[in-house]
Amino acid sequence: MRYTAVALDFDGTIAHDGEVPAHVLEGLERLKQTGRKLLLVTGRELPELLAIFKPIELFDRVVAENGALLYRPQTGERVELGDPPPKALVDLLRARGVPLSVGASIIATVEPHETVVLQAIRELGLERPVIFNKGAVMILPPGINKASGLARALKELGLSARNLVAAGDAENDHALLDAAEYSVAVANAITTLKEAADRVTIAMRGDGILEVIADLIEHDLVKSPPRRERRALCIGRDASGAEVTLPPAGVSMLVTGGHGSGKSSFTRRMLERFCTAGYQFCVLDGRGEYLDFQPAIVFGTQENPPDPFEILTALEKPDLQAVVCLAAVLPAKRAAFFDKLRLELQSLREKTGRPHWLVIDEAEDLVPRRDDVVDRRGPLAENTIYVTSDPTAIDPRIVGAVDVVAVRGAGARQSLESLSALLPTARPAEPLRAPGESEALVWFRRGGQAPRLVTLLPRTHPDRPMRNDVGRLLRRA
């Protein structure tokens, strides 16, 4: 399961005139039964919301007051995420006849009083952002919006925004949709939100949300890809200057080249892209080449093998990046070690959608060619990068299934020619020249494209200094 959580606005998204239709509630119940988490993210004040929406416990978390208040429906606990409204501002606005509603952190009014609000904020020398919501005017603490409140709710639930679908309809939903992996604007949404969203529903409000729910339940949105590529991961630029990007999900990659060709350097660049974009990764490191990669936590050392339980426990935290050092595992036993670990990783992925990416370095040791063994488990699923100097030494099903090939080093043309002999597709057109030190030949096999010479993006994260204790087994339960 890729999308494990759904965050929904209330008014104009699932509710109409403050009421959620029964058939929409039934759809939300069906979605909840799939194991996905539901979050309600609204500009309403909590007492008002509780008074009009009784099935609040359908949601695992509620973010109210446009991000300023977190509510846990199952326990009734409330957590204020922003400072209280400034009394001087409330008094001044009331003195000037502005109709107000004052919450734990929010001050709310309606248009056309925004001019008076802005004047009062300026006169008092305050820093208070003003947010609009289809006629409503909300004054919030600095740094508070739907995205900030959502981030707190996701953290409590152990979820990643990279596994989140979010839907809304109004101006104050931009931050919510920007934070999500897959953004939805209902048909009645404002134009700018529709333009920015990954998907616009056919029906309005709750009926539009039911369209998304049906697709989530049936195929986890695989058949409803986002219409925009805002989450694509940039590898570098081709000769024309155009960005060469990797989809954030649904693909696998083979990185190859001779010894010392720069395979690890290429892979580190990809790890940096994952970190920047918020995707969790787990690197299976056969030789200890990634022990210095920041900000990953290392499991295992050159002398002590890693503990699978500790790896899996740590990966339950969506913001943790993991490097699993297998240097202490004998090469002949690494495949067996990984066979057991990958079943657990696959189970974790099915449950949480994470780790988003798996990187298998020295793949010939972990997923070797087994001519005399029938492996009924099959090759690993998508979102995996295989790194090897010898593609002929790894499981041929993996080689035949990869979507993208990246080749490094002066011998890249010969490597690509040897690799093409292993593939069921037609031989790619010969590239113009071998890649330089900061380049790679990148071949997207499924599109029928020729390999492209790509200038790689520069490194963005400095490696931490190597010490004697780097690679110690860290317990982060």
Judge whether 5-78+145-219 and 233-456 match in fold: yes
Q: What is the pLDDT of residue 426?
A: 62
Quote the tokens at residue 468: 């004697």
Using alpha carbons, list the distances in angstroms from residue 196 to 189, 199, 222.
11, 9, 20
Whole-angstrom Cα distance, residue 163 to residue 6? 9
Domain boundaries, the chain: 5-78+145-219, 87-139, 233-456
Whole-angstrom Cα distance, residue 297 to residue 311? 10
Q: What is the pLDDT of residue 380?
A: 59
User: What's the pTM value of the predicted model, to 2 decimals?
Assistant: 0.91
Going from the first residue of the chain to its last (477 residues), give the mean pLDDT of each consecutive group of 10, the final group possibly shorter. Answer: 98 97 98 98 96 98 98 97 95 95 94 95 94 90 96 98 98 97 98 98 98 98 94 95 95 94 95 97 94 94 94 96 96 94 93 97 92 54 91 91 93 82 70 85 85 91 53 39
Give the angle subtended at the CA of 112 by the CAs of 110 and 114, to the nearest 5°: 75
Q: What is the pLDDT of residue 253?
A: 97
Candidate CATH numbers 3.40.47.10, 3.40.50.10440, 3.40.50.1000, 1.10.10.10; the one for domain 5-78+145-219 = 3.40.50.1000
Q: What is the pLDDT of residue 382?
A: 85
Q: What is the pLDDT of residue 473?
A: 41
Using alpha carbons, list the distances in angstroms from residue 11 to 17, 100, 189, 241.
7, 19, 11, 44
Q: What is the pLDDT of residue 211?
A: 99
Its CATH architecture, for the domain 233-456, is 3-Layer(aba) Sandwich (3.40)
